[in-house]
Amino acid sequence: MANHHFGKFADVWKHLALVEVLALERPSRYAETHSGSGANAMLDDPERRFGVLRFLDVADATASLGQSRYRALLNQFGDAHSFYPGSALLAMAQLGCSASYLLCDLDPVSAGDLRAWSARLGITRCEVAQADGMMTVLSWLDDSTGPATDSQVIVHVDPFDPHSRLADGLSALDVAARLADQGYGLVYWYGYDSPDEASWAYHTLSEKTQGSLWCGDVMLVDETGAAGPGDLGRATTPGTGCGIILANVCEDTRATCQALGEALATAYAGSTLPHGTRGRVRFSVHER
Ligand SMILES: C[S@@+](CC[C@H](N)C(=O)[O-])C[C@H]1O[C@@H](n2cnc3c(N)ncnc32)[C@H](O)[C@@H]1O
């Protein structure tokens, strides 16, 4: 298992938005640069109790969360208290055999688990690459027949390190900008651990691309609305945040993700944060 952060609050927002994008955009090809495992054995700890376990507790009290595709898929996998499905498994479950897939991860255990899940779901066209995801996805798209601009493709870029550069000098952000400019559907995840970094990847990508972008940013704040330095990757504390950037998706998809982000913030109002103090989620949107 190379993903130690599964099922935390950051996954809830990422996966809630991702699955809805797939349901609305209905791509015929789906690629992930950093897929992780198909699923991970569930942990019952403060991070998951604030993450997916809290989501399961509160979702049904809010129409849009209770009727979300993410909620439905957590139900479909039965006991979300025993394992948590990662983004690639959620995508395969949502799109089924209507799409072909390229799922990348450097970790051999994750790659093996992705292969096992695609076989279990009967997915007929799924390539799992134990290789660098950004190089592999770019060449998969370059090798594909058809127009350079293909609105039927969604690429999920979920970088481990958004700034590290590939052999050809491209960072994950450069790859995302290139995909957005070429017209591919893009779902890009970013995180941060300081309030002044909120929505940072939107601002960076806005400088690198010409196209339209949508960003939904979720940041933890204390109950007064204040946030200090956060703790991304270690704890979900005030000042910790993350977001999803969408490119080349339709207006309805943006509006639906916005409604889900607002509902999520409402559902998490007055929460007990993983480290025990009271707090809430601040949701903000940028678009152009
Ligand atoms: C946070 S996890 C992925 C989570 C998954 N996308 C999800 O939302 O459920 C990050 C994964 O990236 C993988 N990874 C790190 N660098 C990579 C690279 N250059 N290419 C492909 N995978 C990479 C790690 O092995 C790890 O499994």
The pLDDT value given to residue 14:
98
Among 11, 101, 105, 113, the mutation site with the greatest number of ligand 1 atoms within 8 A of its Cβ is 105
Residues whose CB is less than 8 angstroms from the CB of residue 190 and which lie 6 or more positions away in sequence, other chains included: 159, 162, 200, 201, 242, 243, 245
Protein residue with its CA nearest to atom 24 in ligand 1: 2
| Distance (Å) from CA 232 to ligand 1 centroid | 16
Mean pLDDT of 83-94: 97
pLDDT for 16-59, tens place per residue? 999 999 999 999 999 999 999 999 999 999 999 999 999 999 99
Distances in Å between the alpha carbon of 2 and those of 24, 35, 245?
A: 30, 10, 24
Cβ of 279 closer than 6 Å to ligand 1, yes or no, is no
Mean pLDDT of 69-97: 91
Rounded Cα distance between 136 and 104, Å, is 8
Is 225 a member of any domain?
A: yes
Is 147 a member of any domain?
A: yes
Closest CA to 22 of 176, 134, 158, 185: 185
Is 34 a member of any domain?
A: yes
Q: What are phi and psi of 83, to 5 degrees?
A: -150, 160
Among 74, 101, 160, the mutation site with the greatest number of ligand 1 atoms within 8 A of its Cβ is 160
Distances in Å between the alpha carbon of 14 and those of 138, 146, 166, 200?
A: 22, 30, 24, 16
Is 3 a member of any domain?
A: no
Closest CA to 182 of 150, 206, 135, 156: 150
Q: Is the pLDDT of residue 166 over 80?
A: no
| Distance (Å) from CA 62 to ligand 1 centroid | 31
Is 2 a member of any domain?
A: no
Query: Residue 55: which CATH number?
Result: 3.40.50.150
| Distance (Å) from CA 210 to ligand 1 centroid | 27
| Distance (Å) from CA 19 to ligand 1 centroid | 18
pLDDT for 137-155, tens place per residue? 999 998 875 544 455 999 9
State the residue for tokens 């066209």: 125
Rounded Cα distance between 277 and 120, Å, is 42
Cβ of 107 closer than 6 Å to ligand 1, yes or no, is yes
Total domain count, the chain: 1
Residues whose CB is less than 8 angstroms from the CB of residue 45 and which lie 6 or more positions away in sequence, other chains included: none
Terminal-residue alpha carbon distance, the chain = 37
Is 1 a member of any domain?
A: no
| Distance (Å) from CA 173 to ligand 1 centroid | 15
The pLDDT value given to residue 147:
47
Is 199 a member of any domain?
A: yes
The pLDDT value given to residue 27:
97
Please give the share of the chain, as a percent, with pLDDT higher than 90: 86
Cβ of 38 closer than 6 Å to ligand 1, yes or no, is no
pLDDT for 181-214, tens place per residue? 999 999 999 999 999 999 999 999 999 999 899 9
Domain assignment of residue 258, given as a range: 9-287
